[in-house]
Chain A
Amino acid sequence: MQSTAEPFLAVRDISKAYPGVQALDGVSLDIRSGEVHALVGENGAGKSTLVRILAGAVRADAGQVLLDGKPIAITSPRQAELLGIAVIYQEFNLVPYLSVAENIMLGREPTHGIAVDWKELNARAAAALGRLGVELPLNAEVRRLSVAQQQMVEIAKALSTQARVIVMDEPTAALTEDEVLKLFEIIRTLKAQGVGIVYISHRLEEVFQIADRITVLRDGKHVKTDSVSAFSTDDLIKLMVGRSLAAHFPELPPDPPREHTLLSVRNLTTPGRINNVSLDVYPGEIFGLAGLVGSGRTSLLRAIAGADSYASGSVMLEGDILHLRGPHDAIEAGIALVTEDRKTQGLILGMSVRENVTLPHLEEFVHYGHIERGEETKSVANLATELHIRTPSLEQLVKNLSGGNQQKVVLAKWLLKKAKFICFDEPTRGIDVGAKAEIYELMVELAKSGTGILMASSDLPEALGMSMRIGVMRTGCLVHVFNRGEATQEEVARFATGTAH
């Protein structure tokens, strides 16, 4: 470890309260030059608030931030940048129609008089990319790049501001495994150059791979900081949730009898996305779908749920061929889709919990054209209690809920009038350990009650731990189906990458 002993950025006794929540309560943290300092905790533990304070987006109520031992005031994002603190958020701050070089130098364009000095701009952008050891065409429009490449542009942008600390918020959420490895190489390069990295991730395996030290936050309080070797995975989870989770995954019920299929897909094809996929799911079965990003899992789920149209093939539910002209038809038939991205596809953030939950089945609450709010509230209160949705009231706007609770609201939408078949696309992306366990339990309960589940997951342990059978997709084809107990991470990865024989 080449970390110097002297912390150059230190946070001392920072507190921040929002109405009704003490988001941070006397938290201290220090970041050394050339170290990767992982920040872990459940959603609502205060990580995001801490990041926002460092980024100058919000002001702390109490406490101070020290840079090289001197107290500093981070009053604005611009100020944070000048102090050498850069934050790379999950949602990138890039301008899609500008080039790589223009994005890297945005707001700091070198000039000749009033004109932009393009030569200098390109040179500086190239230098920043050079420090990362990545090659990207400087004049390519950013929207044409992959997510991983866009992330490189974000990091290069941070470097070009002479950042000494780079905060990365869930940097691997949208990356493939190869891209994650590449990112780790870059992080190591940055470490060697003395940059301090604050690394926030829900993926604990990654934290153990890349971090030098770990700080655990829980309910806005500092729990523990130590070098990574001082933690085991179980310790870490225990510290994060304040109790031990005996197992990550609940026990799955035995395989259901295969008398009647619940959902049958035959030769489903959408050119360029899914290619001749056939599969059967039985009542009470959890069927997992593994595969790389872009392998067609999401497209398959969306086609089954009527969200996208398909060119040929058929979808049958309980033996009846469905004519899916849109999501409405699938919902009528009893098929639900829990989308990958709840904020853009699953929820209407500016509407209340009540309004979101009843949206798919609003007709249930209408009498003579009039929506009965009392009945709405009663039904949703039932569900919210069953699902342990933590919200001050059902009138709360869903944008104010944590990720895990938002995901439960999405689930509630499809349990209000119980769906027969549920497609889950990345059911636990971006939610904390405790909420994950609850979602898993819920899936098991649903399976026990006879609901069929098709679950796409990029998280291999999750796919293995939560599926009775696992199908692997590659370039739009369902290339292999493992029966229960047959699949291992290595085998699945081989089929997913096409190296199996």
Chain B
Amino acid sequence: MRALRPVPHINMTQDQQVIQAVEIRTKEVAARKRRMALLRTIGLVVGLVVLLTILNAATHGDFLTPGNILNVLRQIAVNAILATGQTFVIITAGIDLSVGSLIALTGVLMAGTMQGHPSVVGGLILAILVGLSVGGGAGLVNGWPVVKFGLPPFITTLAMRLMASGLAFLYTRGQPIEIDNQAFNFIGSGFILPSVGHWFGIPGIPTQVVVMLAVVLVCGYVLTQTRFGRYVYAIGGNEEAARLSGVNVFGVKLGVYVISGALAGLASLLLAGHENSGIPQAGQGYELQCIAAVVVGGTSLMGGRGSISGTFVGALLIGMLYNVMNLLGVQSYAQDVVLGAVILVAVLLDQLRRQYLAS
């Protein structure tokens, strides 16, 4: 008795040609996908250039100057770093509403740490450790009830948002703490490689931008090339299937909140260094700004789908819009109206594109 369809043989000689064919076909498809992605990117860049030219014309040439481009990049640094952390959380189908308040809390704690510290370098290192560990620790507190008791992350991070903000005010009694550590302030507002900058008539490459690009590149690598990253997508796609496949769901989910919290600490370093002080009101509303960047960048709030590169483009787009509106003298309330509309249209277009591709 036997089935007529050829049956699989375990541990027997296989038809190498067929295997190679599958492999080649897969590589072809992968290559085609890469080409499509490249084409999409080229399309995006072309669109961007056209948009930039129009914007530039509208601002009478003020927009496309090296100095102004640098401005945009500096302005988006904090949001791009927050949004990068947020991307990890959102791909697991979570959300982190606490990052804005964590900027305030870690900022004032870093400022407090450095106050009266005798050594510049020692104070800087200590402050960075405090910022990253308080941010990361807050992430643990955010994530633990989520993974252990299944609480919605909306709730735990909302609670953290209130607590962190309250603690920042308690610690400072509502007053900013000045930072006189030159090294710290340099990271937030300095320039490196002045000789390169000289070519473009700018003071150099802003340290903020360097930090931002480093974060984006490292996190992009982690998300696309490592086990941790693959697991982040797997959990967002189907948490139960991931668990049954042996994925350490507990650790990975906790990890994404820690990353988000620690990056909030890092973003705070840039912001506080830029302002030369730890301000308890800092970072208000940033949690929504960074979620906007993530969503405009094509990451699904349902989880399982998204990218750091998309998030970076999202942050860039939002930053450019604000910048152009400033150059055009649009008043700030009107700017919010425009930004809201842009977010809506961007996500709508993305949705329509997906539906088109699916059909």
Chain A contacts for B14, CB-based, 8 A: 382, 385-386
The answer to the question of A468 belonging to the interface, with a C-beta cut-off of 8 Å to chain B, is no
**A441: chain B residues within 8 A (beta carbon):** 3, 7-8
Q: Restricting to B1-24, which residues have a CB under 8 Å from any CB of A?
A: 1-11, 14-15, 18-20, 22-23
A345 contacts chain B at the CB level, 8 A cutoff: yes
Query: Complex formed: what's the CA distance from A395 to B35 in Å?
Result: 14
Closest to B24 in A: A381
Write out the residue numbers on chain A whose beta carbons fall within 8 Å of the beta carbon of B119: none
Contacts of B227 in A (CB 8 A): 362-363, 366, 369, 371
Q: Which among A245, A349, A354 is the interface contact of B237 at CB below 8 angstroms?
A: A349
Residues of A close to B9: CB separation below 8 A: 386, 445
Contact partner of A328 (CB less than 8 A), chosen from B2, B225, B240, B248, is B248
* A360 CB, nearest partner CB in chain B, Å: 4
Question: A244-263 toward B: CB 8 Å interface, digit per residue (1/0)?
Answer: 11110111000000000000
A347 within 8 Å of B (CB atoms): yes
Check if B322 is an interface residue, CB within 8 A of chain A: no
Query: What is the chain B residue whose CB lies nearest that of A353?
Result: B26
Contact with B along A104-132 (1 / 0, CB 8 A): 00000000000000000000000000000
CB 8 Å contact bits of B231-273 with A (1 = contact, 0 = none): 1011001101111111110000000000000000000000000
A443-475 Cβ-contact flags toward B at 8 Å (1 or 0) = 001100100000000000000000000000000
A396 contact set on B, CB distance < 8 A: 29
State the Cβ distance, A139 to closest chain B Cβ, in Å: 29
In the bound complex, do residue B22 and residue A394 qualify as a contact, i.e. CB atoms below 8 Å apart?
yes
Chain A residues with a Cβ closer than 8 Å to the other chain, count: 64
CA distance A347 to B241 in the complex (A): 6
A246 and B4 contacting across the interface, CB-CB below 8 Å: yes
Q: Which of B25, B231, B241, B248 has the most CB of A within 10 A?
A: B241
Task: Find residues 340-390 in chain A having any chain B CB closer than 8 Å to their own CB.
Answer: 344-351, 354-355, 359-360, 362-363, 366, 369-371, 373, 377-378, 380-382, 384-388
A427 interfacial by beta-carbon distance below 8 Å: no
In contact, B4 and A449 (Cβ under 8 angstroms): no
| Contact A449 to B304, CB < 8 A, known contacts A346-B241, A381-B23, A395-B29 | no
Least Cβ–Cβ distance between B257 and chain A, in angstroms:
20
Determine whether B30 belongs to the interface, using a CB cutoff of 8 Å to chain A.
yes
Q: By the criterion CB–CB under 8 Å, are B230 and A371 in contact? A: yes
Contacts of A348 in B (CB 8 A): 233-234, 237-238, 241-242, 304
Task: Provide the bound-state CA to CA distance between A350 and B227, in Å.
Answer: 17
Instruction: Find the B residue at minimum CB distance from A439.
Output: B8
Residue B226, interface by CB 8 Å? yes
- Rounded to whole Å, the gap between the CB of B16 and the closest CB of chain A is 9
Residues on B with beta carbons closer than 8 Å to the beta carbon of A381: 19-20, 22-23, 26
Q: State A339–B33 Cα separation when bound (angstroms).
A: 32
Which chain B positions have C-beta within 8 A of A415?
10
A394 to B19, CA, bound (A): 11
Provide the bound-state CA to CA distance between A462 and B8, in Å: 20
Interface residue B274 (Cβ < 8 Å from any Cβ of A) = no
A-chain residues with CB within 8 Å of residue B243 when the two chains form the complex:
307, 326-327
Contact B225 A392 (CB under 8 A): no
Interface residue from B2, B5, B27 paired with A434 (Cβ < 8 Å): B5
Chain B residues near A350 (CB-CB < 8 A): 237-238, 304-305
Interface residue B28 (Cβ < 8 Å from any Cβ of A): yes
Docked CA distance A327–B7 (Å):
30
Interface size class on chain B is: 35 or more
B1→A370 contact, CB < 8 A: no
Q: A500–B225 Cα gap in the complex (Å)?
A: 58
Asked if B22 and A384 make an inter-chain contact with CB atoms under 8 angstroms apart, the answer reads yes
Which 7 interchain pairs have the tightest Cβ spacing? Answer: A348-B237, A437-B3, A393-B29, A441-B7, A247-B1, A394-B26, A331-B246
On whether A355 and B230 interact (CB within 8 A), knowing A345-B240, A382-B14, A446-B10, the answer reads yes
Q: Is A349's CB under 8 angstroms from B8's CB?
A: no
B residues 176-212 touching A (CB-CB < 8 Å): none
Query: B4 and A243: CB pair below 8 A?
Result: yes
> B234 to chain A: which residues have CB within 8 Å?
348, 351, 355, 359
Are B242 and A392 closer than 8 Å at their CB atoms? no
User: B8's contact among A244, A245, A373, A445, by CB below 8 Å, is which?
Assistant: A445
Closest beta carbon of chain A to B226's beta carbon, Å:
5
Contact of A449 among B11, B22, B29, B233 (CB under 8 A): B11
Q: How far is the CA of A344 from the CA of B247 in the complex (A)?
A: 16
Interface CB pairs A-B, < 8 A, 14: A249-B1, A307-B243, A328-B248, A345-B241, A348-B242, A348-B304, A349-B238, A351-B304, A359-B242, A359-B246, A369-B225, A377-B30, A385-B15, A438-B3
| Distance between A369 CB and nearest chain B CB, rounded to angstroms | 5
A413 pairs with B245, CB closer than 8 A = yes
Contact, CB under 8 Å: B5 / A351 = no
Starting from the known contacts A393-B28, A441-B3, A445-B10, 6 additional A-B residue pairs (CB-CB under 8 Å) come to: A244-B4, A250-B3, A327-B244, A354-B26, A413-B245, A437-B5
Q: Across the two chains, which residue of chain A brings its CB closest to B237?
A: A348
Write the nearest CB–CB distance from A412 to chain B, whole angstroms.
10
- Minimum distance in angstroms from B179 CB to a CB of chain A: 36
Q: Which residues of B contact A438 (CB under 8 A)?
A: 3, 5, 7-8
CB distance from A416 to the nearest CB of B (A): 11
A347 to nearest B CB, angstroms?
Answer: 6
Determine the chain A residues whose CB is within 8 A of the CB of B230 once the complex forms: 355, 359, 362, 371
B244–A395 CB distance below 8 A: no
A227 to B28, CA, bound (A): 49
